[in-house]
Structure 1
């Protein structure tokens, strides 16, 4: 049955069946056509179950209606669950549930009305501690939570609870300095120096603040270049290039990391012939050996040839033989020619050296030090046992810049056999320089071998005028000072100091000689004692600079030696009061004497230091500098004092002569004054003459005057001890009394006591003075 006609018949059949069923229900007690979710009320009506409803309401009578679920949650809502809760419809009913992120306080899951609502926020981070997955941090929010990733991680867009690593190096924002390489790791990154780079000083390797600089593998020795090549640094790496004059071996290329080179066969031993006109078997044998070495020379082994040349030279110089018998001028000429040829050979062979440095020391202590560098820059220090040399590489480089730069130091201890008694012709500029150093003309200079260093050579042979200075530091073979003069000076000063100390103790402890003149003698000896002590320990200047110590020593010597002459002038003044003004009162008091004796030199030294403080000390000795006449700050007062004392002594002698011619002179006092005058004149003569010679001590060329001063200076303290102590009768008696106490000699004590008593009786009538 097809088409519209069949459909109409089907609908008619359905209506017929419903009517038949309704007719049958009418005949029964309950309607049988009630739909699901309903109950029968009577034969014609049905009632929907609770929670369901029909279109006609709860009760309906049409067989065509059905009971549908009532949505209590709406819209519009028929019930209220309250805040933070949601209504959930069910079939035939409903229930209330807390909104997501909230829960009932009773931990129940549902409730039916607003009065049962106890919803509150749930802390998911505590409830579910692993809600955020690895490397995520859970943060609770009102009704929910969020997951935050650790630094270096980010949330996965497909799972907001999952954190994944962030690759900062490929993110397009490279956080590292351009001199570093970014290395990503889990949760972060590192800024590492690239190969051939290193962190700058103070910068660590790894943090994002890392800054790198190129590693100079060549200067640091971190390269692997073959010894036959020269390391050339490049940015981040290096190259190995053949030395000048060398070429790569077969199957090798130049400027590679594995480059290996060889010396060309045309690099030869330089010609070296003996000087003409000199006949010496020792010298001939040496040059025969040189010719053998030249014939057998192997360019690849220049260091072995150098060692054999040095050994042959040592053999020649060890026992000079007929070389020492040569005429000195011929021997010195031969030595000059020999050293020049040796320098040429060593310079040439050094250029073939595969190493940057070379040192050889022979069994006879001949020492050779070489430094070879392709491109040198800046200052360099080169040293060996006997010397050190500081210079700039630019000074050593040959102007034509052909080949590597070479510098060398050769020390030959046995060379002194050839150079003995050599004369020395100094240039005018050098003579003037030495004159300033020694503060005296240099005449008759003789060459003296002070160091074993005989040859210093560079690639640059034009060394007369250099762009920058070359500084040498030598170790001397022996002390160049005059040992005899030094010994005499030290022994003489020690003897003088001992005698001065005895004088000081005598003047302090012997009572019978106490008086104004004894005070003068005491302070004279004190000044000489202190000045001589300072002279002994500090006169020589240490180093080539005049420092504070040297200036202080010179100032103290100036003060105490001037003080000695001032006390000598007071000696003359005391004689003047004793003889010339004998009837006009006593002399100066003790404090007046000290004021003059120590105050006048202090004023002179203070004025001198204020005018020219640099006048104290010079290169050789810590004494007054002779430049600009500064020495006259000492010579002037000394000459003035000596002349004044001479006038006083002449006047004193003249007055004594007059008094001796008088009719009734006081003979005892006159004789005593005569003795004192003779003593003072003798003291002035000895001390004055000693210091006249002493002024020349600081001139090294005045050796006769230097020896004279040393001898007189050793007698200075001894003379004062003889003049004022041993030749003084009262002092001798006091010495005997002391000796008697020590030895227990009663007779000596009795004799001394008797003598002392008589002297004390005499002194009761006049003031105590020292006398012969």
Structure 2
């Protein structure tokens, strides 16, 4: 701006004027500033007179009469405002009609006086920028949430990306759980109404899917794999062939009939096929023909083969039946019962005329079988023909229990089948050890068990050597009544009720006992007649011999005919037999003690007189055993209620209450005393042979001494000492030794006291001559007499014989 012209001369004069000039200059400067302010005010006033003062907000002055709205704003009349009543309002570029193109997947965002574009939710720009201005800058694309956060869906859910978002859904074979909507649970396709598998298969559900598998005993049809949902199966009918080493035309015909049934089989006629199979089986068993001519092991092997094969075939046919249960009773009294249930649980009871069964469905199904559960039972009366004369293998625990009860070894048993043979089979093939036992009630012919007999629950077990045998391991009898026996078993097989007659005694030992006692009785009778009729040998020793033989004869006779107990109850007859045996055998041992006493006086105290007189002999021989028996009977009646006499298996003294010691105690005392006398006698005789005749050769001396020792050994009853060492009944050596020596005691006495005695032999010759009518020669007598005089010194040894 230019200064006013009149001021310039003044300003020049002042600059040239010294101090006064300086003061003047300051004053002029102040004036100048004042003038400048006034000039500025004038300029502003001039300008205001050129623009309108009423322009509204968001606008600018154009001139004194008009205003212009800023960009992004407009008025009702447009961009230029000429009236103070108008206003500049924001233009909504994003409002309809849309005037700003942002492009696909983008939204317009209005601002005060402007706008910008953003990607829609679920989209983002490639560059990562948040805003842009027009469609040419639009690079919006979908955000893949499933890739950015793989664990965005919980549990088994799978993430599925969608335009601008995502969804979580359950995979195939799963569905949202109603209790937990955000979790997926398995879909049991097999339980749906629409069966996903062919009717020839069973559906096996898996996690997220399912399989269609052939039923047990079925196989996939050619070209059809086992497992997919299009699997189709056919019955795998077993093919039977003859067992190795067995030839049988009747069995071959049966196998051909079964093969024909398999060729024509259809599931719809499964029941008819079963009936025809049982009919063929009945025809085979009712008339076995050449099967009966086979050896026992072969017959038993065929029985094992048939039983196992029938179970397999019937299991296959049962699972092919359309119905849940089936029962068939053939005219030949063969019965079959079948029950089938899908996913069975709880207990099931199956009954027929031959047997009833109670088991749990879980046992029938097994651990890995998701198909139908099947229970079957085949009962055949005719099967017993192939199982005759089979052996019995007792459980070790049961055998030990029997031996404890019978107080004797159990050497097997004779068997009698009382019931039908009942084969039990399940859809579960692993039945050797069940999780829970199965209870049976078998109907059978009733027979009251006698002595050494028992009703037992047994099962058939195959064996490569014997073909098969009955066994009891894992089966227990619970009780018997009304022609029925209840059993419980921890495994399944073919069962039957047997009557077992146990061989408590060794049959060979029993035969030796009977034959030996019969022979001894004959010899003892000859001894008694000899001692009574042969006068040359009469004396105190002969008296002892006589009464010893009488006691042994009576006791052995009673033992042979009466020791076996008749019936279960202990009757008066058995108690009387036990009492008589007690007395007569004690009497025999008392006379044996008198034999020892006589021998002691004869050999040891030969120069100090003879033995006791006859009245003492009778008193000791018959009085002492009578006293012992009387005391024992009184104790039995008072303390044991009369149960001392009578064993539970024999008519003898009771062992359980220790009553047998009333016999065993005196016997042990007598045997020990006689054993001492026997040793002393042999020792004394050895000395006497050396003193009397030192020139006797050693062989003759040993022979005479041996014969004498044997005579005294049997005479004194020392053979009974073997029974003292028979603690274990299973010791066969001691048992046979004891039985043979004591059953033949009468024979030994006859040989040693009659046949080897010269005087007795002379009498036998006389009797023989009298019977035959020949004249007896006196030469033998004179010779015998002279010889007797020459060897008088050997009398002790001769008397000992």
TM-score by length of 1: 0.45
TM-score by length of 2: 0.44
Q: Which has the larger radius of gyration?
A: 2
